[in-house]
Structures are given as structure tokens and as C-alpha cells.
Amino acid sequence: MIKLTQTKFKMRIKPIRNEIDYQNALARLELIFDAKRDTVEGDELEILAMVIDNYENEKFPIEMPDPIAAIKFRMEQMGLKQKDLVEMVGFKSRVSEIMNKKRKLTLEMIRKLNTNLHIPTEILIQDY
């Protein structure tokens, strides 16, 4: 049989509706940040983090990067040069045209870039 226990502490998490609520939620999160799992404060931390994340996603959405910016970023992460894209895109001159936004990516190029650089297709298919 499960025994239910009553706690003296009640969580007071509420929706974040404005900047003041947001700042208060961040301050509370900072106070309980090191709370242990499966404790009252640990549960509060988990729920508060979800509420803050929801507010931030609504108020401060992050747009997808430009396809060419995403390719350049991934190349930098992987230590690649433009010449390394020749197999995925075609001739060296074509790589240069694409990287300088003078030529659009084709469906075949998008597939190869997705497979080799692991850039999501929803980023690569965007207009630029």
C-alpha cells in the first residue's frame, strides 16, 4: 500500500505573463538550481525550467539560419575547406558560386549536404 505524505511546502509556480514574472522565475531558478532530484525543490526546478523554456520560446524565438551560413558554420566545426565540398556540390567553381550566393542549391546537393554534413534539410531548402 502506498502511503501519501503531506508536505509543509507548496510550490507556487504560475505562468509567466510579462518581464517581471520572467525575471522572478529566473531568480527563483537560480536559487534552487542545485536541488536534488525527487525532492520538493527538485520537482519545482523541473517544472519551473519548463515554464521558463515555454516563455522564452514564445517571446524570443530563434529563427533558422541561412542555408549558406549553416554550411559555413558546419564546415568550420568540421575543419573543412571549400574544396572539400566539391564531391557534394560539383566543380570547384560551382562551390564558389554557391558559397557566394550566386547559385542556388539543387535537390541533389541538398541531399548530399544533409548526408555528409548532417545539416537538416529544413535549413538547406530555405530560400536565400
User: What CATH number does residue 97 fall under?
Assistant: 1.10.260.40
Other CB atoms within 10 A of residue 7 CB: 7
Q: What is the mean pLDDT of residues 113-123?
A: 96
Judge whether 75 lies within some domain.
yes
Alpha-carbon distances of 57 from 24, 60, 116, rounded to whole Å: 17, 6, 30
Is residue 23 one of the residues assigned to a domain? yes
Tell me, yes or no, whether 91 lies in a domain.
yes
Q: Are residues 114 and 81 both part of a single domain? A: yes
3-state secondary structure of 28: helix
Q: Which residues of 85-116 are buried (b: 16+ CB within 10 A; e: fewer)?
A: beebbbeeebbeebbeeebebeeebbebbbee
- The mean pLDDT value of the chain amounts to 91
**pLDDT tens-digit series, residues 6-41:** 555 567 789 999 999 999 999 999 999 999 999 999
Number of domains making up the chain: 2
* 28 & 53 share domain: yes
